[in-house]
Structure formats: structure tokens, C-alpha cells
Amino acid sequence: MITRQIGLVDLATSVIKHWELLTRLAKREYTVRFRGTVMGFAWAVLTPLLLAIAYTYVFVVVFNVRWVGAATEKGASFAVYLMLGLAVHGILAECLSRAPSLILANPSYVLRVVFPLEILSFTIIAPALVTASVNIAVAVVINLVLNGQLNATLVFAPLILLPYLVFVVAVVIIVSAIGVYLRDIAHVIGLVITLAMFLSPVFYSIEAVPIVMRRVMQFNPLTFPIEQLRAVVIGNMMPDVVGLIVYTAFSIISLALASTVFQRLRSGFADVL
């Protein structure tokens, strides 16, 4: 099998060159999820909505939790903050759960045909982004109906999510490559996803964390996008430009390192499969 070096520029070029193929694969990934179901795409709306209702009932009604730092302590506000946090975490969770078997589930792409394996990671990002977008849209509607808020700054939400998506792609690329050689990683991913949920400000705000631990949490790759998404959607605040530049640089470096690791490991895929 012939391989070639895939640098960051080459990776971007490959994505652009195979955009039509990538789009078809991403569409297939999403349609397969609801194929054969009665309600179809409606599940994409009902699932986050029902989860938000359940979490809000448990935390607000049962445990009487209030969102620290929120302008209001209404249960509806808790649901909105929670849904935005779940939307960001959900992208990582959905992609990471698929990553270990991404290449293993498509051996023909490795063994039989000349296929740009580097674009496979992008095919599962698109469906996860659609799901997250639905979650955010539902949160915005709830915030508008129950709190009367529709902030113009929510237009910056894509700007917040873009570098985060780059980081997620980097993680998926590395995990998918390692998963070919180390099958045990699939059993670790579930634990990582759960830990990422509770160690990130999904169920709580960063203001609720002790100052010492707050500084540590700033190094969590999920903290910045979660807090910034809430700021622009609910808080009517402009994005943190400096933080966004730093996070974007971090994501690009992560993607460059991931591409290097993937290239070093891909030459042995055919032998393992």
C-alpha cells in the first residue's frame, strides 16, 4: 500500500478535494441513525429536550440546585444552561464513542481501494454538529418562551464552536488510529466520556468551582467553549477574543500533531486488519 505524508495543509486540501465524498458519507452516517424509526428526525429534538427536563427535575426540584452566576434562578434558566453544556459535551461524546472503531469498521477502505482515510474523522463530526445545533436551537427557543430572551450575540455561537470542532477532529484522528492497534481503548472511552462530563462545567458554572480548582479547570478543553457558548447565547456578551485566539491556536496545533501521529500509524493498518 502506498502512503504519503499528510501535513496540516495536505489534510485541508484533502478535505476540500474530497468534499463531495465526505458530504455523502456524513449524510449516510446521519440517515442510518434514524433509518427504520417511526419518528425519524424528531428524535433529534425529543432526546435533548427530554434529557433537559429530567436533569432539571433532578437538580432543581429534588436537589434544589441553583445556577451560580446566573441572572435568574428560575428552573427554566437551569435547563437552558444545562442544554448548552450538554450540546458541547455531546459533540465530543458522540464522536469519541465512534472513534475507536472508525477504521476497524471500514477495512475495505484500507485493504481494497485507494481511499483518503484522513477524511473519515470528518464524516462523524458533521452528524454530531447537527445534533448539537438542534440542542442549541431548542435551548434558544426555551429561553425565548420562558425567559423572554433572544440575544443578538448568539450569532457568534458558530465562531465559538469552530475551533472546538477542530480539537474534536484531532482527538478522533488519534483515537481512531490507536484503535486499530489497541482494541482495549474502546473500553476506556466510555469512562473518559463520563469523566469529561462531570469534570467540565456542564451541570454547574465555573463560578461554582473553588478558585484553586477553577484555575485547573481552565486547562480542560471543554471549559472554554461551554462557558463562551453560554455567554453569547444567554449572557448577551461578546466572545472573549483573546481566549478565542489562544484556543484556536491550541486546536490547530492539536490537529497538526494528530495528523502526524495518524500518518506514522497508518502504514501498518493493512497489516493489522
46: helix, strand or coil: helix
141, part of any domain = yes
Confidence of residue 4 (pLDDT cuts 50, 70, 90): very low
Q: How far is CA 255 from its chain centroid? A: 15
Q: How far apart are CA 170 and CA 100, in angstroms?
A: 13
Over residues 1-27, mean pLDDT: 72
Whether 11 contacts 118, CB under 8 Å: yes
Is residue 71 over pLDDT 60? Answer: no
Max mean pLDDT among 48-62, 114-128, 244-258 falls in: 244-258
pLDDT tens string 137-179: 888 988 888 778 888 999 999 999 999 999 999 999 999 999 9
Give Cβ neighbours of residue 14 (< 8 Å, ≥ 6 apart).
Answer: 6, 116, 118, 119
pLDDT of residue 158: 94
Return the closest-CA partner of residue 103 out of 172, 188, 22.
172
Confidence of residue 69 (pLDDT cuts 50, 70, 90): low
Mean pLDDT of the residues in the chain: 84
- Of 18-32, 82-96, 134-148, 173-187, the range with the lowest mean pLDDT is 18-32
What does residue 5 show for φ and ψ, rounded to 5 degrees? -70, 135
2, part of any domain = no
What does residue 215 show for φ and ψ, rounded to 5 degrees? -65, -35
Q: Domain tally for the chain?
A: 1
Q: Where are the alpha helices (DSSP H) in 57-150?
A: 75-98, 107-111, 120-147
Q: How far apart are CA 94 and CA 145, in angstroms?
A: 29
219, part of any domain = yes
Grid cell 423572554 in the structure block, residue: 148
70, part of any domain = yes
How many helices, marked H, and strands, marked E, lie in the chain?
12, 0
The whole domain housing 52 covers 8-272
Whether 30 contacts 127, CB under 8 Å: yes
Q: How far apart are CA 242 and CA 129, in angstroms?
A: 24
What is the H or E stretch that residue 79 is in?
helix 75-98
Confidence of residue 215 (pLDDT cuts 50, 70, 90): confident
1, part of any domain = no
Q: Rounded to 5 degrees, what angle do the CA atoms 208, 239, 90 make?
A: 60
3, part of any domain = no
Q: How far is CA 23 from its chain centroid? A: 18
Full 3-state SS string of 183-222: CCHHHHHHHHHHHHHHCCCCCCCHHHCCHHHHHHHCCCCC
pLDDT of residue 3: 43
Query: Would you call 178 exposed, middle or buried from its count of C-beta atoms within 10 A (0-12, 13-18, 19+)?
Result: middle
pLDDT of residue 149: 80
% pLDDT > 70, the chain:
89
pLDDT of residue 73: 46
pLDDT of residue 2: 41
What does residue 48 show for φ and ψ, rounded to 5 degrees? -65, -35
